[in-house]
Amino acid sequence: MLWCELCGFQEAAVGPESIIRSVRDLPAAVAGLLASADDHAQRRRPAPGVWSPLEYAGHCADVMIWYGERIARVLTEDAAQLEPFDWDEHTAKQRYHEAGTCEILHRLASSCDALVTRLTSLGTQEWMRTGTGSDGTARSVTDLARRAAHEAVHHTEDIRAGIDSA
């Protein structure tokens, strides 16, 4: 994806510094949004098939862990094969809409910190290492990190929309 019509994220224009900033800023942005909403608004699904703000926050924590693991595999394995993941099923099983807001925010901060630590330690060659995505295309560490940054930007907007619709 080069440009997301929903959130305006432009993958091709995002380099390592912007990626790191997007991931680093996510926990504070989400915490601010959730603090502006009451408990009902945090847990309410605005429409069928649309997650609640708290579910999106929990999903973001999982995504940062998942991309961190994918990046680690690309960095440590020759020709890493990256498998797909069913996020809808996973999020439903986690029942984030029933979790404590503080618990979700702590998990989000921890997962973002871990990914930022990993990304800030990378050298130029490491950003270019590649694995193979489930669709058979090459995925560089930069590609994977950009996708994590896109998730941060995109789901911040999903959380905002969910709160605004309450």
Burial zone of 25 (CB within 10 Å; 0-12 exposed, 13-18 middle, 19+ buried): middle
Stated pTM of the model: 0.93
Within 10 angstroms of residue 85's Cβ, the number of other Cβ atoms is 12
H or E element that contains 130: strand 130-132
Query: Nearest 5°: phi and psi at 10?
Result: -120, 100
| Cβ-proximal residues to 109 (8 Å cutoff; 6+ apart), any chain | 27
Which pLDDT does position 2 carry in this prediction?
Answer: 60
- How far does the chain reach from its first CA to its final CA, in angstroms? 30
Per-residue confidence of the chain (166 residues) as pLDDT tens digits?
567 888 878 877 789 999 999 999 999 999 999 999 999 999 999 999 999 999 999 999 999 999 999 999 999 999 999 999 898 899 889 989 889 999 999 999 999 999 999 999 999 999 999 999 999 999 999 999 999 999 999 999 999 999 999 7
H helix intervals, the chain: 16-35, 39-43, 53-76, 87-94, 101-120, 124-128, 141-164
Within 10 angstroms of residue 49's Cβ, the number of other Cβ atoms is 6
Which pLDDT does position 166 carry in this prediction?
Answer: 73
| Length reported for the chain | 166
75, two tokens? 């960095």
Per the CB < 8 A criterion, the answer to whether 155 and 59 are in contact is yes
Domains identified in the chain and CATH numbers:
15-164 (1.20.120.450)
